[in-house]
Structure 1
């Protein structure tokens, strides 16, 4: 038989064997977004045993969404429950191809599994919630038993006598001695929603958070009452007949949602309400009992974010004293925390009145605050903040961007301030959980090419993070994922420095130019992380690995890690100077020999979708094509929970006058695809249909894809992910041709 390989030189033969399969080994988009997840299921909810020697957590080691209960002693892993369905029983369409059977199989495939994990105080077992029921798992026998209806926010009282949970909007306790349940509040009211899809399908009135007093005799809680909030309808079609599903959803300027703080006795007395001002205009940002249990720290923020208050309340007599107040007209996204010092003499809080999000200490009886941290932002991976006291020393553990704006590390700060000690060493983002004795950290950590995993860290100078889980499938480990380059360049309109994350194709052809793909565009994306929630990291890597595109992420103004001024420059100006940050990135890329400036695509979701539309509407020709997912088109249809961005129409009419994209569209000339979910109650589909109607009236051509049983993230289910990401990639290939030229 003729064998053409016999006539190849040894070198060419080696190249044929080694190089030729490389492109074929790169997973296609359909595989990247399908179940089981190639990058695995991220471990979640790590909780330390009372003796600090073990971590219980939720995980699936086969890349499926259903999480079971797992245990680690720092070395070995043990799976404690086995409720997750066999992947083979739910993957694929199955034998019954009727619509009803396919939808039921998809529902089973997307089950999330166990939630609400807490230890029994004697460490003999674990409480958890599954399918609406509360269970106790005995570690000696390995047997679990149902002990009642489930709920959320499970916690054990400091004295170990009670289990507390929120059920039906009310606060309940279960005696660990008698086993009896007691309903401590009668405040909850069921919601009006009839379809369980969306962010605002929740009770009409409910306990939002609670805190045990140190003596376990009282519980302070936040109560949220939205029974007078407007009812907003959302059509739902996949039923025997279409129905009009409703949710409570305030619009900017509405004043119907009430928040109150109360204290209830564990023996059932109360609640006693604290007399706080403006319950319809203030958020409760923190609740913390003092170490002696006599005082309650309450931090509130205005619903428009401009003002913040710290109060010390004495529930015994109902007195309330303000110890701190600040105001910033351009403040957005409150990321504040407050907690007591170990001796109860001071309150630590995160402030933004000196260029960065810093830590301060203020006397508990009032006075001037003292700055403790330096020129860096205290912020976690998603813009929030994690600070906690170290038992014994009283020193402060915190997550910050001190090392780099692209990373989040755990640091120890002396209680009196001064130099910090960095405790985590691996590059990337770290989400910590401190052991009860303060000697160890459980960490969920991810990096540029490392999906989120669980690590164990001993808090001594000689230790480094020890990886416990291995979540990605073997296919993932077989790939050589690309390391990004982090760059910065000047803004084209002001003195800010703009930061970007770039993935270049391997083995780029000299003298050739490559197209660029921006996305998924949003704030806080230039980070050393692998996105655990959405397949965006996969898409960026795959586009670059195949040699199709250089992929780029940009931290537009509003991002954390660069100081308060950069963060607040976003307020009331979305689609304005933030768009110029993207244009600055285009200008920078145009200086690179390998970039084809005529082939630059852009895509994003929600706020990112807004940026895509404004880019195509205001700067035609800068981007060759755009995909806008769930674009936040119209400020009048934002929610009342967005007022930290929008303010109110009666106080800031200028923002509302210019805050809608419905005034634009006449300059659209570049290809546009819009994707939106029918059940999106964060950015209603109605607003996209309004935008689409205007574009049609203007005679514009564009594409629109509506995802039927989806909320704000239209790719949450894997069958929708395969469809929508396939549409996105096909659209870009048509309008931003891939590969070098």
Structure 2
């Protein structure tokens, strides 16, 4: 074996470049099975980020159902999901460019628009589609010319093949998961401002005769993902016992517990269309249950027995769908990008139906995450421990000079109710293969640790999340694992807020940072953001506008006088969730005070970058920024254009 070369951290040569990240990249979306065919959606950075629909027939032939530039993506709640459905070969989908519903039947030369052109461009949107005889059920979101979040209306509708629209549920601020029952029933979820669906949501059932029953959803109870059983039982997940567990409701017997493993079986409803349980004949169910290294699939037999299914190399599962005597899922693992997997219920070997792209890399290039728990200030939450996935540097060709500790990149996920997931992410490996240590922090407020951990952020956003990211960095530094002089923090959206707040309000730990479409002004966010999140901060921060003082005190923009840490800012100019003005305000303040900073604004991008050229520019730009701040050289063979740092 050849001697590994000695190269300073940050300058390590690596094949995991930004070009590799976007080459033939396709982010797996939702997965379903119809009449023996496997269908899935995938976002393609190389095709301007469009969401393509793909069908795999039983003989293995793979076909793009919608050629470019068709884009099956909805803007309901801005985060979308559930933008398409298929039944007996008939496809319904929302086209991103105009948000209208389209239908494509077998033999049709092209999709046909079903809903009318709205008076406001893209003003009538559809999501959470579910095919029914003669049409489709959907969540419809209607926007007016005012553009005001308060004027947006969300309803459950039935859209017939001829475009006729019938309103089935109206009145609640939000609705989701319209699900037709076997006896003509309709089930759906509903919630009202100021709660989010992971705070409280009701599950309602309407009989064919019109009688309505609230099945579940007491105050402080989050209900998600209702699924009808053929015999009229209704399955759903509820966090009434602190964790999202599986329950069943029957009209004649009420609610019973089906499966509680003491950990979350489901997650927060940021997008429509999630599926965390698959139903099989005879009362069998398949769920994804938490395990030491992520998740594993498990069969719950009708008698209550629970047995796991072998899925070596995979640790995260989504879009669980029954297919004969197997479950079809989207799956990923620490050394595996997401694939579509067929897992037989008898425990035999899984089959990959939609493989990941061939990266041509030895697995030695991949850093494996270590789950770390570390002490953090209680902050009045009653919880003094937080968690992270820590990825050490990994490069089989080079090593750092003797005595050099790696720089640290603390990653702050969005949400803030998201979570770190142990699935191969080339963006993480981009950093670790260059000599960085990456800590993906599950600060208090994250999902996957129960409601008490999630609710610890209520009223404390901008306080305990800062405690946790700083505690993580210091924990790793004190353990001698990272260089305390080269610790950076980065995050997007809500993670961008924590990044900005940590640098402005708790200076001294981090020597650099990067905000991707992050929140700088909480008051402006409360005033200007879209309907779905327009009252989100009432819980995370304080009631708005009654406690505007708290918003001002917690806003990074208020504390720019103490923001002296070099900062890179990345923003899309069409972002409706965290508007452009947020980035512009923080950049203007940095410029006025002479703080070293870089700013990249991407035309045509929304909340998160989808185009290949912009994904590359943001990633390479951030690396170039750290190189200039910390004084290391960029690998010469990548041709990375240095980002402009304004001083």
TM-fit CA distance, 1:297: 0.8
Instruction: Return closer, same or farther for 1:712/1:633 CA change in 2, 3 Å cut-off.
Output: farther
* 1:518 equivalent in alignment to 2:409: yes
Q: Which residue of 2 aligns with 1:484?
A: 369
* 1:443 equivalent in alignment to 2:335: no
Instruction: Return closer, same or farther for 1:410/1:121 CA change in 2, 3 Å cut-off.
Output: closer
TM-fit CA distance, 1:452: 2.4
Q: Which residue of 2 aligns with 1:322?
A: 214
Secondary structure of the 2:434 match is helix
* 1:225 equivalent in alignment to 2:142: yes
Q: Deviations over 1:537-567 (max 9, x none)?
A: 23232232xxxx3332211122222111111
* 1:461 equivalent in alignment to 2:378: no
TM-fit CA distance, 1:720: 3.4
Q: Pick from 487, 491, 506: which aligns with 1:619?
A: 506
Instruction: Return closer, same or farther for 1:29/1:684 CA change in 2, 3 Å cut-off.
Output: farther
Give the TM-score taking structure 1 as reference length.
0.70
Q: How does 1:698-717 map to 2 (within 5 A)?
A: 699-712=593-606, 716-717=610-611
Partners of 2:33 and 2:39 within 8 A in 1 = yes
2: CA distance, partners of 1:161 / 1:41: 24
1: CA distance, partners of 2:600 / 2:329: 38
TM-fit CA distance, 1:613: 1.4
Q: Deviations over 1:317-352 (max 9, x none)?
A: 544332223222xx8xx67211123310x3221111
Q: Pick from 528, 539, 545: which aligns with 2:430?
A: 539
Instruction: Return closer, same or farther for 1:429/1:498 CA change in 2, 3 Å cut-off.
Output: same
* 1:262 equivalent in alignment to 2:146: no
Partners of 1:456 and 1:468 within 8 A in 2 = no
Q: Which residue of 1 aligns with 2:17?
A: 32
The answer to which of 418-427 and 611-620 deviates more is: 418-427
Instruction: Return closer, same or farther for 1:365/1:119 CA change in 2, 3 Å cut-off.
Output: farther
Q: Pick from 563, 572, 577: which aligns with 1:668?
A: 563
Q: Which residue of 2 aligns with 1:311?
A: 204
Q: How does 1:497-508 map to 2 (within 5 A)?
A: 497-505=385-393
2: CA distance, partners of 1:312 / 1:174: 31
2: CA distance, partners of 1:340 / 1:519: 42
1: CA distance, partners of 2:610 / 2:106: 38
Instruction: Return closer, same or farther for 1:424/1:225 CA change in 2, 3 Å cut-off.
Output: same
Instruction: Return closer, same or farther for 1:173/1:436 CA change in 2, 3 Å cut-off.
Output: same
Secondary structure of the 1:130 match is coil
Q: Pick from 198, 210, 226: which aligns with 1:338?
A: 226
User: Unaligned stretches of 5+ in structure 2?
Assistant: 72-81, 634-647
Q: Pick from 260, 277, 283: which aligns with 1:388?
A: 277
Q: Please, what is the CA RMSD of the aligned residues?
A: 4.1
TM-fit CA distance, 1:519: 3.5
User: Unaligned stretches of 5+ in structure 1?
Assistant: 1-13, 67-108, 135-151, 193-202, 231-249
1: CA distance, partners of 2:62 / 2:485: 61
Q: Deviations over 1:105-154 (max 9, x none)?
A: xxxx54457823458999999782223569xxxxxxxxxxxxxxxxx955
Q: Which residue of 2 aligns with 1:209?
A: 128
Q: Deviations over 1:177-224 (max 9, x none)?
A: 9999987655x51644xxxxxxxxxx10133333234xx256433222
1: CA distance, partners of 2:61 / 2:393: 52
TM-fit CA distance, 1:454: 3.5
1: CA distance, partners of 2:485 / 2:94: 55
TM-fit CA distance, 1:269: 9.5
* 1:528 equivalent in alignment to 2:422: yes
Instruction: Return closer, same or farther for 1:382/1:555 CA change in 2, 3 Å cut-off.
Output: farther
Give the TM-score taking structure 2 as reference length.
0.79
TM-fit CA distance, 1:641: 2.0
TM-fit CA distance, 1:730: 2.8
The answer to which of 24-33 and 589-598 deviates more is: 24-33
Q: Which residue of 1 aligns with 2:79?
A: none
Q: Which residue of 2 aligns with 1:407?
A: 294
Q: Which residue of 1 aligns with 2:637?
A: none
1: CA distance, partners of 2:23 / 2:106: 42
Partners of 1:543 and 1:550 within 8 A in 2 = no
Partners of 2:277 and 2:285 within 8 A in 1 = yes
Partners of 1:671 and 1:735 within 8 A in 2 = yes
Instruction: Return closer, same or farther for 1:335/1:110 CA change in 2, 3 Å cut-off.
Output: farther
Instruction: Return closer, same or farther for 1:382/1:365 CA change in 2, 3 Å cut-off.
Output: closer
Q: Which residue of 1 aligns with 2:240?
A: 353
Partners of 1:678 and 1:706 within 8 A in 2 = no
Secondary structure of the 1:34 match is helix
* 1:374 equivalent in alignment to 2:261: yes
Instruction: Return closer, same or farther for 1:423/1:636 CA change in 2, 3 Å cut-off.
Output: farther
| Rg (Cα) greater in structure | 1
2: CA distance, partners of 1:170 / 1:558: 36
Q: Which residue of 1 aligns with 2:74?
A: none
Instruction: Return closer, same or farther for 1:672/1:171 CA change in 2, 3 Å cut-off.
Output: closer
